[in-house]
A and B are shown apart, each in its own frame.
Chain A
Amino acid sequence: MNQVEHVANLARLQLSREELERLSTQLSRILAYMEELNAVDTAGIPGTTSVVAGDANVLREDEVQPSLSQDQALRNAPDAVDGLFQVPQIISDR
């Protein structure tokens, strides 16, 4: 339950008591299934990090391409001031 609350907080999700309980049960079942998968011997098999099998080194030249205009960039922003995105006050800097 505490763990679910922690993960929800990291994902900035606000969950009701009832949701927390339901998700705790579901996540426990998912984790139990992961335990089953852990039983498979994967020693010596490299992890799959991409489904584009066998591909590597997709690179681009260091060339500048046109950017969006300021208007286009800010089009989806709920609030903007002087060409800047406006967001709620952040209490402390990162």
Chain B
Amino acid sequence: MPKCPECDADVTVGVDAVKGEIVACPDCGAELEVTETSPLALALAPEAEEDWGE
């Protein structure tokens, strides 16, 4: 099971996860990005920037 790079908690990721998907750490709430699916790897997602939005 992958670990949260922020707090080292175990993070459960769905089997249908895709590269680039954002998941939240259940312990610290950090936004994490799935950087690889096989094997699963997580990294801290980038912080929001000024021009982010919809």
Q: Do A and B come from one complex?
A: no
Interface of B toward A, CB cutoff 8 Å: none
Interface of A toward B, CB cutoff 8 Å: none
